[in-house]
Amino acid sequence: MLTLLLAVSLQAPGDWPVYGRDPGGARFSPLTEITRQNVTQLQVAWTYHTGIPDMSSMSHRPPALEVTPIVVDGTMYVITPTGIVAALDPATGAERWRYDAGVNPHRGYGDFASRGVSIWRDSRAAAGASCARRIIAATIDARLVALDAATGKPCAGFGAGGVVDLRKGLRVAPDEFAFYEVTSPPAVVGDLVITGSAVADNTNLAPASGEVRAYNARTGGLKWTFDPVPQDSADPAFKTWQNGAARIVGAANVWSVIVADPARDLVFLPTSSPAPDYFGGMRLGEDRYASSIVALRASTGKVVWHFQTVHHDLWDFDNAAPPALATVTHDGATIPAVLQTGKSGMLYVLDRTTGTPIFPVEERPVPASSVSGEVAS
């Protein structure tokens, strides 16, 4: 018998302060006004026009509005793919402030979307002080922006004038500007802002590296870096990249949403396939940390455990969905779990503290590849 209990959050019932409502991504709302009986009676209360121009005739992918708004302390916050962050009255849709990051929409982004923003509260700041509450936004052109939640003005003490350039310090700089993006909201754990990236992983062997990085929420200073393509030769995962391929391969990035268990000092990364997506002859081996669920110590970025969902991914089977944290009751035991599904269509239920499958996982060999130089896992 299996019983699932999603994490219960402590915020106000009407708030939605994180992409998945709570750090573990449960997406559960305790509100009861909308029911099965009255859902068909819902009507549009208001509409907010973002100001995104019609770009449907563009030769490359046009922008897509994929934002999940957050609602905190009576204000709704949204972001557009073109880098406009707005604060709205959730009752009327009236705009309280707007910040325009000035994203160039004609760069040819492969995934032209921004899925949300995050909020951080400075425990050291006086109530009502400037930037005591900050909206943290990651733009499609890879900038991390900190804004005063009350006014929308950049927080001057964060990075350079409120902005951190996420292109700086990458192991592999992007071949082209649009090969490196950020499309999902950062995770906030304590005083850290943790962000992944979206990489054009089907263009060449190393379009860009896919490091996950943690920044100080006050200053924008870099705290730690985790590369899903391991660079430490002493790491056992490094040896799963044959012939030293880890030194030259990019991607395996986390373009989806990172979730966290702050009480256990853990963050959970749904990593993607290494580059290039559909040929692995130059990266033979299991390619560990790619196409995996990786649990890191949030405070240090060190690997606690990992579980690879696809060995030597040749199919672009990214872990596209955010993980979800739940408590599983199975065979009389209560187990803190992380649930992960991805493009393969499989659902993995793992012990959150160890990465051990709670239910058996059967591994099967895939058909041998007929592509010259390829060895399927």
**pLDDT tens by residue, 309-368:** 999 999 999 999 999 999 999 999 999 999 999 898 999 999 999 999 999 999 998 899
Q: What mean pLDDT comes out for the span 20-38?
A: 96
By the 8 A CB rule, do 186 and 197 touch?
Answer: no
The string of DSSP letters for 304-365 reads EEEEESSSS--S-----SPPEEEEEEETTEEEEEEEEE-TT--EEEEETTT--BSS-----P
Report the chain's mean pLDDT, rounded to a whole number.
95
pLDDT band for position 54 (cuts 50, 70, 90): confident
Give residue for tokens 């209560």: 334
Question: In this predicted structure, what is the pLDDT of residue 313?
Answer: 96
- Report the percentage of the chain scoring pLDDT > 70: 97
d(CA 266, CA 325): 11
Burial of residue 39, with CB atoms counted within 10 A of its CB: 0-12 exposed, 13-18 middle, 19 or more buried: exposed
Question: In this predicted structure, what is the pLDDT of residue 361?
Answer: 95
Question: In this predicted structure, what is the pLDDT of residue 7?
Answer: 53
- Report the percentage of the chain scoring pLDDT > 90: 90
* Tokens standing for residue 289: 């940390």
- pLDDT for residue 9 is more than 60: no
Q: Residues near 269 by Cβ (< 8 Å), separated by ≥ 6?
A: 196, 212, 226, 228, 254, 258, 292, 293, 294, 295, 296
57 or 85: which leads in pLDDT: 85
Report in angstroms the alpha-carbon separations of 163 from 19, 321, 352: 21, 28, 34
* Tokens standing for residue 249: 């391969």
Give residue for tokens 């499989």: 346
The domain 60-122+129-320 is classified under which CATH number: 2.160.10.10, 3.20.20.30, 2.140.10.10, 3.30.70.980? 2.140.10.10
Q: How many C-beta atoms surround the C-beta of residue 171 within 10 A?
A: 15
**pLDDT tens by residue, 266-291:** 999 999 999 999 999 999 999 999 99
Question: In this predicted structure, what is the pLDDT of residue 53?
Answer: 78
Question: In this predicted structure, what is the pLDDT of residue 5?
Answer: 59
pLDDT band for position 2 (cuts 50, 70, 90): low
d(CA 133, CA 54): 33
Active-site annotation, residues:
316
* Tokens standing for residue 217: 């929420």
Q: What mean pLDDT comes out for the span 185-204?
A: 97
Which range, of 57-61, 241-245, 338-342, averages the lowest pLDDT? 57-61
pLDDT band for position 174 (cuts 50, 70, 90): very high
pLDDT band for position 61 (cuts 50, 70, 90): confident
List the chain domain ranges. Answer: 60-122+129-320
Question: In this predicted structure, what is the pLDDT of residue 3?
Answer: 58
